[in-house]
Amino acid sequence: MLNVLGKGEVKRWALRGVNLFRTRTRSHVLILLICFASPLLIYIWIISTHRLSNLREIFAALHVWTLPVVEGYPRCKHLNSTHYLCLPNTFLIGASKCGTTTVIEFLSRQPGVALINRRITVQDHHREIHRFDRHTYPYALHFLELADEWASSPIVPDPNTIVIHYTPHYLYSPTVPFTMRSFYPTDLAHKPKFLVMLREPSERAISAYWFASSHLFSNKASSNVLQNQLNMNIGKTDSGSMNEFVREAMEQMGARHTYEKCMQEYQKGKQQQQQQESQLQQELPLLPSIMSSATMYEALCSCFGDDLRSSKLGARHLDKSIYVDQLQRWYLNFLPTVSAPSTTASTTPSSANTNIDRNRANDGIDNEQPIESLYFISTLEDLKQRPKEMLQQMLTFLYTNNESSDSIKLQSTSTSILPSEVYLTQPNALSKLSENQLSEEMRNVLMEFYRPYTKQLEVLLKKYPVTMTKGVIMES
């Protein structure tokens, strides 16, 4: 054969074979690299753009997404033949320092009630979820985020179980109601229920300041909050003073006036722009809409600025006690509707008034298609003065229209949920010192500051059908 081909031909064929082998080897190596690198890149992208932080959570979310939906209960999925995973149908949204920890501790002990599990960090085990008020993930896949919420839901034996999502900062956080409305699909969010606890505004602001200055604030991550607080040496790392509170209060009053001026100017500017656009549309009827109408969300983004989702919001103790504009933001996205009649709680307006005006221009509520919702509003003062009656009203509200409610009775009394007294008193030992008591003059300044907002709150509460306890309408 060598004689036929010649030595030159053999050499050329040998070189071709070697080159071909090298080329194919490079291709195979490249393919292998792609096969191994692609999953790694996808994993890095997921944990960077989603709340998911490891492979276990990713696989759990994907697994839950494949589970079948329970017929008649679109918020629940079959985990197995006897148990389900259900998205929340009840939200305890605040306000902070208004007895919400006592309330959630009480509700967690009731039959037919389960809580969403916290999945933000491994170390942080307290009951607050903070899914919607901490970080934004603009590039997250919605189905994967929703699947993660489903995976963090409690395993329940009955799809009628009341599943509660609890974060007291939600009431104040500006973006949360807008984010929540877009997060939960309309068919899954059928008349969600909202629990709201309020408090005399000045007392709430002072309590929030002392708590933020106490050792308890840095130890909220404890897995056993109540027991930890009882066992700790109160005052060990407490700080703060009434002079500092007064200084911060005066600064926040000025900031509030700046915020209100910004909102008014924004609204005025948008109205003028809309009038110009309306006139242009009449002159050129075939021209498509140039821009959408002004929304509350745009105004909040403009006036809150960089603090829109900042942790600094938690330090706005005075502003967090102005409940009227906070409820307006929630009503804008989750409109109060009439619930079934109740014998123990009052609902205003009358249940005969079922035609709710969707365009509440005077209230700033003009967004399209808010989700119909039910609200229960009470106060810390009610909880302290008549705990059993108030908590019974709350359970009646929660169990209304619930098929499993007939067999459920009040399981706890005010004494059985103690040591919740920790939350009904000032948690900072320094607040008990005589020099740290609020002066009568400053107390009057705070009362005058909150008076117009309290009156606006009364008007808002009377206009919409919400279930309220006796002490919600505060005397101004």
How far is 158 from 117, CA to CA, in rounded Å?
17
CA atoms lying within 13 Å on the CB side of residue 272 = 5
How far is 99 from 380, CA to CA, in rounded Å?
6
Give the range with max mean pLDDT: 124-138, 334-348, 372-386, 422-436: 372-386
How far is 96 from 170, CA to CA, in rounded Å?
9
Angle ∠(138,144,148) on CA atoms, nearest 5: 110
Query: How many Cβ atoms from other residues are within 10 Å of residue 61's Cβ?
Result: 23
How far is 440 from 433, CA to CA, in rounded Å?
16
Looking at residue 403, its pLDDT comes to 54
How far is 265 from 69, CA to CA, in rounded Å?
47
Instruction: Please report where in the chains the tokens 């995973």 appear, as a residue.
Output: 85
Listed in sequence order, the residues at least 6 apart from 304 whose beta carbon sits closer than 8 Å to its beta carbon are 174, 259
CATH of 70-270+293-468, one of 3.40.1710.10, 3.40.50.150, 3.40.50.300, 3.30.465.10: 3.40.50.300
- One-letter amino acid at 62 equals L
Looking at residue 19, its pLDDT comes to 66
Mean pLDDT confidence for 115-128: 63
- One-letter amino acid at 251 equals E
DSSP state of 52: -
Strand intervals (E) in 167-250: 193-198
pLDDT per residue as tens digits for the range 130-161: 888 877 787 888 899 999 989 888 899 999 99
Element spanning 409, H or E: none
Which of the four pLDDT bands, split at 50, 70 and 90, describes residue 163?
very high
DSSP state of 172: T
Looking at residue 29, its pLDDT comes to 62
Listed in sequence order, the residues at least 6 apart from 188 whose beta carbon sits closer than 8 Å to its beta carbon are 74, 75, 87
pLDDT per residue as tens digits for the range 194-251: 999 999 999 999 988 888 887 666 554 444 444 444 444 444 577 778 888 889 889 9
Which of the four pLDDT bands, split at 50, 70 and 90, describes residue 456?
very high
Reply yes or no on whether the pLDDT at 322 is more than 70: yes
Question: Do residues 126 and 225 touch, judged by C-beta distance below 8 A?
Answer: yes
pLDDT per residue as tens digits for the range 30-50: 676 677 777 888 888 888 888
pLDDT per residue as tens digits for the range 383-412: 888 888 898 899 999 988 665 544 445 554
CA atoms lying within 13 Å on the CB side of residue 475 = 1
Which of the four pLDDT bands, split at 50, 70 and 90, describes residue 359?
very low
Question: Do residues 422 and 289 touch, judged by C-beta distance below 8 A?
Answer: no
Average pLDDT, the chain: 75
- One-letter amino acid at 38 equals S
